[in-house]
Amino acid sequence: MQVGALRIFFTTFFLFLVGFNTLKTIKGKQWKWIALSGLLGSGIPPFLFAIAQTEIDSAVSSILNSLTPLNTVVTGIILFGMVVTKKQILGVVIGLAGSLLLIISGAQFNPKQDYWFSLLIILATVFYALNVNIIKKHLGNIGALAITTGNFAFLVLPALVLLWFTGFFKAVLTSKEIQESLVYVIILSLFGTAFAKVLFNKLIQIASPVFASSVTYTMTLVAVFWGAVDGEQLGVYQLVGGAVILLGVYLSKKG
């Protein structure tokens, strides 16, 4: 919980340094979409990922994160009137099958890990997908920096309250382990959240929702690489499950 809250706090700090003045470009009626976008895209997922990765490896988490384009199609159809083809429906079904294969095989390959926590990552991808569609439909005429800064303006106070009630401010003064971890959270907040979110929101505005969410392909490759460096292991069936997910995403993109 502290990792998620700290990401929000430090990201807000960095964004306010460069983007605070852009908040005035957001009109009154648009703030409700800014708030909802922030909650779904940046407020809830960091906590879901942090909790899930107490039980499952980062490489597996990233492979499951590649479900975001599939869920972008599903939520786009159900809630945003997206036109869908039979091939896209097939892609969604294949992607879900790949997820199940990944979870089941992972539970067998790493029996000490609780792969029910994988569901938290899948839920996060649903929230990401909703956020992508909201930005594309309701916030297309606002600058990417303004959207991102507005998102975190709504999240920073709850994050500070959460840090207070979890005892973070007392613990950080006495624990060298927490102080060391804090450095990495700051790096993650600056590059993995603040900088990346601005670029991602801009990509959503200039491309289709499904194409923009397809950035998760490259995230999978990067996370598997760093997972291997960190000593994580993937079984053959887990890799097959990841490949099936990517096949499903590829089909979901086709018109």
DSSP type of residue 189 = I
User: How far apart are the C-alpha atoms of 155 and 16, rounded to whole Å?
Assistant: 13
Is residue 160 within 8 Å of 9, Cβ to Cβ? yes
Q: Residue range 187-206: average pLDDT? A: 91
pLDDT per residue as tens digits for the range 42-56 = 999 999 999 998 988
Range ranked top by mean pLDDT from 19-28, 104-113, 240-249: 19-28
Q: Count Cβ atoms within 10 A of the Cβ of residue 236 and give its class: 0-12 exposed, 13-18 middle, 19 or more buried.
A: exposed
Question: Between the CA atoms of 67, 41, 120 and 97, what dihedral angle is there, to the nearest 10 degrees?
Answer: -10
pLDDT per residue as tens digits for the range 209-232 = 777 777 776 676 677 777 778 887
Residue of 236 and 155 predicted with greater confidence: 155
Residues of 105-138 as b/e, b for ≥16 C-beta within 10 angstroms? bbeebbeebebebbebbbebbbbbbbbbbbbbeb
Confidence of residue 186 (pLDDT cuts 50, 70, 90): very high
Residue of 210 and 158 predicted with greater confidence: 158
> What pLDDT is stored for residue 27 in this prediction?
93
Residue of 212 and 176 predicted with greater confidence: 176
Confidence of residue 24 (pLDDT cuts 50, 70, 90): very high
> What pLDDT is stored for residue 253 in this prediction?
65
CA distances from 55 to 174, 181, 207, 251 (A): 26, 18, 35, 31
Average pLDDT, the chain: 86
Six-digit token string for 207: 């491309």
Residue of 137 and 60 predicted with greater confidence: 137
pLDDT per residue as tens digits for the range 61-118 = 877 887 888 888 889 888 888 776 777 777 777 877 777 776 676 666 667 777 788 8
Residue of 86 and 144 predicted with greater confidence: 144
SS3 call for 143: coil
Confidence of residue 233 (pLDDT cuts 50, 70, 90): confident
What is the residue-wise DSSP string for 30-97?
GHHHHHHHHIIIIISHHHHHHHHTTTS-HHHHHHHHTTHHHHHHHHHHHHH-----HHHHHHHHHHHH
> What pLDDT is stored for residue 56 in this prediction?
85
> What pLDDT is stored for residue 72 in this prediction?
86
Confidence of residue 207 (pLDDT cuts 50, 70, 90): confident
Specify the residue for token string 């409700």: 32
Is residue 216 within 8 Å of 65, Cβ to Cβ? yes
Cα radius of gyration (the chain): 18
State the pTM of this model: 0.82
In percent, the amount of the chain with pLDDT more than 70 equals 91
CA distances from 136 to 123, 132, 161, 208 (A): 20, 6, 31, 8
User: How far apart are the C-alpha atoms of 44 and 35, rounded to whole Å?
Assistant: 12
Q: Residue range 153-158: average pLDDT? A: 96
Specify the residue for token string 């895209």: 41
